[in-house]
Structure 1
C-alpha cells in the first residue's frame, strides 16, 4: 500500500488564501499600540491575502468615519469643566489644580490636532501605511481583484434574493466582495471576521463557495494568528497574546476613555 505523502507547511500555505473582513483592518484604530505588531507579521504574507477593490473602498471611507468617531468621543469625554467658588479659590491647592488643568487642556488640544493631522496626512498613520503597502504589493503581484459589471449584477441579484452575505440597508458591499471572491479565487480559503458578515448563515456560505469554485472554506476565525497557523505559518506566543488582549479591549472599546467607576 502506497503511503500518503504528507504536505509540507509550505505546500499547504500555497494552496490557501486568507479573506480578511474590512472591519478587521479598521479595528487597529480601536486598539492599543502593541497591536501594530500583528500588522507587521501580516505584512510578511501579502501573497496569502485576498484583496478586492471593494475592500479598499470600504477601508478608505470608513477609516475617516472611525477616526472622527474616536475624535468626537475623546473631545466629549476628556473635556473637564469646573465651577469655581470663593471657598475653593481661597485654597492654594485649588490654584495649583487650575494651573495643571490649563496645561491639561493645552495637551488635549494637541491630541485633537494630531487626530486632525492623521486625517489630512494619512501617510503619518501606521495602519494606513500598512494598508497602502498591501495594495501596492497585491497590485505588483497581480492579485488585486476587481469588480466588473457582471459581478455588480450578480451582487445586486444576491441582494434581491436575500442570499448571504447580506449588507445592511440598501448597500451591496458584502455581496460585491463575495461575488468577487467566487469569480476569482481558485484556492481554499480562511475567513477572518468579528462581526456577523460571515458568521450568519456560515454553512450556506461554505456550500455556496464549494459549489461555485470547487474549493473549501477551511475555517472562519476572529484571529489573524489562528489563520496564519492554519496555513502552516508559525506565530509567537507573544503575538498570540497581543491579539488576545486586543480582542478583549475591543469588546469594551466604548468604555475605553471612561473612568473605572463609571456605570
Structure 2
C-alpha cells in the first residue's frame, strides 16, 4: 500500500484560490484510507488560517472609498448627493464583509475551509500521527545539523517534525504532496533517507491529482484549475 501526506501549505492555499474548496476537499477525501497527517499539520493549519484570513480582511478594508469632496459648483447637483450615498452604501458593504471575515477568524465553524479540514482530519479512515518528545528531539537535531527539510524560521521545526514523524511511523511507499521547495529541492536526499529508514519509495509532487491516480479517481475540474493544468 502507498501512503499519501498532504502538506499544510496546500490546505492554506485554498483560502486564496478562485476554486470551490468543497470540490477539492472531496478529491482529497477520496484518499482518506491512504492519508496520513502528522498532528503538527493540524496545528499549523489552525495557527496559520487566522493569519491568511486576516490578510484577506485587510485587503478588503483597503477598498473602502473616500468621501466625495465636491466643489461648490457641483455640490448642489443631485447626482453629487447620489454619488455620496452610493459611496456610503459601498463602505457599509465593505465593513460588513470585513466583519464577516473577522467572525470566521474567531469562529472556525463559520469558515468553510476550516470546516472541511476538520471533517477530513476527523475521518476515522485518516491516520493522524501524534508527535512524541522523542520526535521533537529528533526534529531539533535535524535542524541543528542543517539536514532537509528545513523550516524557514530559524526558531521553528515544523517541516523537520513532519518529516521525522513520517519516518518513524511509515513502512510503505509515500506520496508527499507539497508546494514547499525545501522538499522538492532535496528530493534525492529525502528519497534516499526515506528508503533507508522505512524501506519504501518516496514521491514528492505538488499535485494532489498524482495521488488520486492511485485510487483511479479523475481530478475534479476545480482541482485541475487549482493545480494550474488548465
Question: In the alignment, what sits opposite 2:162?
Answer: 177
Tell me if the contact between 1:164 and 1:201 (Cα under 8 Å) persists in the aligned partners. yes
Question: In the alignment, what sits opposite 1:62?
Answer: 48
* Equivalent-residue separation in structure 1 for 2:193 and 2:73 (angstroms): 72
Q: Given the alignment, which residue of 146, 171, 174 partners 1:162? A: 146
Check if 1:242 corresponds to 2:222. Answer: yes
1:176-215 paired onto structure 2 within 5 Å:
176-215=161-200
Q: Given the alignment, which residue of 116, 120, 136 partners 2:102? A: 116
Question: In the alignment, what sits opposite 1:152?
Answer: 136
The alpha-carbon deviation at position 83 of structure 1 amounts to 3.3
Deviations 1:193-213 (A, max 9, x none): 113131121111111111110
Deviations 1:146-180 (A, max 9, x none): 11111111111111110000012221111000000
The alpha-carbon deviation at position 65 of structure 1 amounts to 0.9
1:24-35 paired onto structure 2 within 5 Å:
24-35=10-21
* Equivalent-residue separation in structure 2 for 1:29 and 1:155 (angstroms): 29
Tell me if the contact between 1:75 and 1:112 (Cα under 8 Å) persists in the aligned partners. yes
* Equivalent-residue separation in structure 2 for 1:88 and 1:17 (angstroms): 69
* Equivalent-residue separation in structure 1 for 2:125 and 2:227 (angstroms): 31
Q: Which moved more, 1:117-126 or 1:151-160?
A: 117-126
The alpha-carbon deviation at position 105 of structure 1 amounts to 1.0
Deviations 1:40-96 (A, max 9, x none): 2222332211111111110110011111111112212x1211433223424333322
SS at match of 2:47: helix
Aligned pair in 2 of structure 1 residues 175, 99: CA closer, same or farther (>3 Å)? same
Structure 2: gaps of 5 or more residues: none
Task: Indicate the RMSD between aligned Cα atoms, in angstroms.
Answer: 1.8
TM-score by structure 2 length? 0.91
Check if 1:222 corresponds to 2:206. Answer: yes
Tell me if the contact between 2:149 and 2:183 (Cα under 8 Å) persists in the aligned partners. yes
* Equivalent-residue separation in structure 2 for 1:33 and 1:114 (angstroms): 20
Tell me if the contact between 1:22 and 1:58 (Cα under 8 Å) persists in the aligned partners. yes
Structure 1: gaps of 5 or more residues: 1-14, 249-263
Q: Which moved more, 1:219-228 or 1:101-110?
A: 219-228
